[in-house]
Chains A and B, each alone.
Chain A
Amino acid sequence: DIQMTQSPSSVSASVGDRVIITCRASQGISNWLAWYQQRPGKAPKLLISAASNLQPGVPSRFSGSGSGTDFTLTISGLQPEDFATYFCQQTNSFLSLTFGGGTKVEIK
């Protein structure tokens, strides 16, 4: 199984800050990585697929990068609606679509 490790598990930030979340795969997954945002009590929302492909309607302050085993999600200019939990997921192997443990972005 491919394991996905996210860090940090939580981060405190202020409106306007830049936040960087990292995701590491236990083996190479090319650029087959997705990022999701989940607000409390809601279903996850796909933000980015294929490591850097921003989904339609997702603000451009969100960006993704990386390939192989190391990936990042960057939020440039944090907005109040961005306080949520973020998950990565490897989409390389159909046999095991593993998620990372999540990163909670909290208000400082």
Chain B
Amino acid sequence: QLQLQESGPGLAKPSETLSLMCTVSGGSISSDRYYWGWIRQPPGKGLEWIATVYYSGTTYYNPSLRSRVTISLDTSKNQVSLKVRSVTAADTAVYYCARRGITSRDAFDIWGQGTVVTVSS
């Protein structure tokens, strides 16, 4: 059964680059049947889609975050990574990774438990 597990530093300082990892077990991120994405949720607020990546390397980014984020795959470790540059307090959130199918009818059907990130000096 597929499982996703996010990991991160917990605390980041303003202006730093935040690096997050999602380790996938029970399935391969190299499958051509799925996309892999990151979604975040600030405290007490709603969900914000950040980015999605396909096994081929094709990426899609939220236009509001595109200039500061990079999503990528490490197929040797079966991991999906996310980097957020120049973080501010507004980047404080729970960060989730999730899987979705490749068609428009598909949604994020499997999620990790999330990793909490606080940006503070």
- Which residues in A have some Cβ–Cβ distance to B below 8 Å? 1, 30-32, 34, 36, 38, 42-46, 49-50, 53, 55, 87, 89, 91-92, 94-102
B26 CB–A CB distance under 8 Å? no
Give, as a whole number of angstroms, the nearest-CB distance from A72 to chain B.
Answer: 17
| In contact, B109 and A30 (Cβ under 8 angstroms) | no
| In contact, A49 and B106 (Cβ under 8 angstroms) | yes
Chain A residues lying within 8 Å of B104, measured Cβ to Cβ, are: 30, 32, 91-92, 94
Pick the 7 closest A-B CB pairs, nearest first.
A34-B107, A50-B105, A43-B111, A97-B49, A99-B47, A32-B104, A49-B107
Chain A residues lying within 8 Å of B100, measured Cβ to Cβ, are: 91
Chain A residues lying within 8 Å of B39, measured Cβ to Cβ, are: 44, 99
Give, as a whole number of angstroms, the nearest-CB distance from B115 to chain A.
Answer: 11
Chain A residues lying within 8 Å of B49, measured Cβ to Cβ, are: 89, 96-99
- Which B34-57 residues sit within 8 Å CB-CB of chain A? 37, 39, 46-49, 52
Give, as a whole number of angstroms, the nearest-CB distance from A73 to chain B.
Answer: 13
| In contact, B47 and A87 (Cβ under 8 angstroms) | yes
Docked CA distance A94–B49 (Å): 11
> Which of B47, B48, B100 gathers most chain A CB within 10 Å?
B47
| 8 sampled A-B residue pairs with Cβ under 8 A | A31-B105, A36-B107, A45-B111, A55-B109, A91-B100, A91-B104, A91-B106, A99-B48
Closest chain A residue to B107 by CB distance? A34
Chain B residues lying within 8 Å of A92, measured Cβ to Cβ, are: 104
| In contact, A89 and B107 (Cβ under 8 angstroms) | yes
Docked CA distance A50–B105 (Å): 5
Closest chain B residue to A51 by CB distance? B105
Contact of A32 among B105, B111, B114 (CB under 8 A): B105
Closest chain A residue to B113 by CB distance? A43
Docked CA distance A95–B66 (Å): 11
Q: Mark B81-114, 1 if CB is under 8 A from A, else 0.
A: 0000000000000001000100011111101111
> Quick one: given A43-B112, A94-B60, are A99 and B46 in contact (CB under 8 Å)?
yes
Docked CA distance A46–B47 (Å): 13
Give, as a whole number of angstroms, the nearest-CB distance from A22 to chain B.
Answer: 16
